[in-house]
Structure 1
Amino acid sequence: MSQAPDDEVDRIVAAWARERPDLDVSPLEVLSRVSRLARHLDLARRSAFGRHGLESWEFDVLSALRRAGEPYQLTPTQLVRQTLVTSGTMTNRITRLVDRGLVDRAASDADQRSRLVRLTGTGREVVDNALADLVTDEQHLLQGLPEDRQAELAQLLKGLLSPFDDA
């Protein structure tokens, strides 16, 4: 099998190996590529969401509600856990999404002191359309990798990421 041509990471690693032969810079071969790929993915996601008038954080909140299933509602605490932001940040985000008509607040049937955040019909339509564009764009990002290699890569990345998710 022929080796892939040098990329920017190969050049960076070679330069560091030359300049710092005392260090094992081999982790850069994996993690610098992951970092560079994350930048490309972030740009693709911003583009997909932007076509629907959404910021990335808005998609995160709306998609958490959509994935919850009918009636597409969660408590603010559940949203905080799923989106990894502070409660103050979430309160601000919910208010902004209410102002846009994408979510509303409702009293909980189980506890009248508790509030639920609920996806509106408009919010559901926007997040569904943005997700469809996102999946299409991400399929294009992966098109150079055969499906079996995509599955292999997914499992490798899962193994690398799982200790962070467990923490």
Structure 2
Amino acid sequence: MSITATLIVQMIVFAILVWFTMSFVWPPIAKALDERAAQISDGLAAADNAKAELASANKRIEEQLTQSRNDSAKLLAEAEKRAQSIIEDAKKRADEEGLKIVAAAKADAEQQSIKAREALRSEVAVLAVKGAEQILKREVNPAVHADLLGRLQTEL
């Protein structure tokens, strides 16, 4: 055979091989490549969505943390105000109780002072009567001289 005929036969076999590959082999390979590309693009899109959702979740968490901190600060401030109020009320009540106790003590001291004065007056009156008895060298009758002794007691 001549080289031309061999070359023509090889070209025909090559054309048949190209046609067979393009018809039967290439479509499944292209389909597999397209499916793989679609899976990759879907995966990338899902990753982008996940990143966006993560950013959104982080933002919501930050907002909630900020809100929680603000709420905690408000509650703490209210608790401190309430504690101050309770302390002020307790101080006020303690002051009132202290004033009551001081007033009661003053009243008691005044009563004791009055009792002591009365006892002292009685003793002074008795001593005055005894002194008068010794000066007069006779007994003074308290029933007879009750008016005189009463005036003497009020003067003292």
Q: TM bucket by the smaller chain?
A: under 0.3
In terms of fraction of residues, the more helix-rich structure is 2
Using CA pairs under 8 Å that are at least 6 residues apart, name the structure with larger relative contact order, 1 or 2.
1
TM-score (norm 1): 0.18
**Bigger radius of gyration among the two:** 2
TM-score, normalised with respect to structure 2: 0.19
* Bigger fraction of residues in strand: 1
